[in-house]
Amino acid sequence: MSWTERTEETLRQAGYRRGAARRIVVSVLAREGCCVTVPEIVDAARRQGHDVGLASVYRVLDLLTEKGLAQKIELGEGRARYERVEPQHERHHHHLVCTDCGRIEPFSDEELETALRRVEEETGFAVASHDVLLRGSCDDCRAA
C-alpha cells in the first residue's frame, strides 16, 4: 500500500472528507521525497495545475502531522518544512544542511539509529520521534 493510499485510508476512517486541498497537498508530498516548505508546496501544486490556499495547506499539514502521516522539520531557516512519513520507518532519514548555500541533503545510517533508540529508552520520556540535523559547508561551497 502506497503512502498516498494509506494516507487517504487513514483520513477516511477517522471521518474526514476528501476535499480539494487535502487531495492536492497529499499528491504533492507523495511526489516530493525530502522536506519542502509551504510556498514550495503551493508552487508545486500550481505546476500540477491546481490552486490551493496557503491557509488550507497549513491546515492539511497540521492534520497529517497529528496523524503521524507527515512530519514538521525546522532546519534553522526561520520557516518549517514538511515531509511524508512512511510506515515501518521506511526511507526514514535525517538532514544535512549547507550553512553557505542552504542546500539540503538527506542521509541515513543504521548505526546512528541504533544509538538513538538506546538513548531514547534511557530518557524518562516516551519518545515518539527524533530528528538529527548536521550543519556545515557542502563540497561546492568549500571549493568556491
Q: Which of 1, 13, 12, 47 is nearest to 27 (CA)?
A: 47
- Residue 63 binds a copy of itself (CB under 8 A): no
Which residues ranging from 66 to 105 are in contact with DNA (CB under 7 A)? 78-80
* Minimum CB–partner distance for residue 38 and DNA (Å): 5
- How many C-beta atoms surround the C-beta of residue 104 within 10 A? 18
- Among candidates 34, 136, 5, which has minimal Cα distance to 76? 136
Candidate residues 28, 29, 36, 60; the one interacting with DNA per rule CB under 7 A: 60
What is d(CA 38, CA 82) in angstroms, rounded to the nearest whole number? 8
18 binds, among DNA, a copy of itself, none (CB under 5 to 8 A by kind): DNA
Distance (Å, whole) CA 16 – CA 135: 39
Q: Which of residues 102-131 bind a copy of itself (CB under 8 A)?
A: 105, 107, 109, 111-112, 114-116, 118-120, 122-131
Q: Which of 38, 44, 70, 138 binds DNA (CB under 7 A)?
A: 38
- Cβ atoms of residues 73 and 81 within 8 Å: yes
Q: Which residues bind DNA (CB under 7 A)?
A: 12, 16-23, 37-39, 51-56, 58-60, 62, 78-80
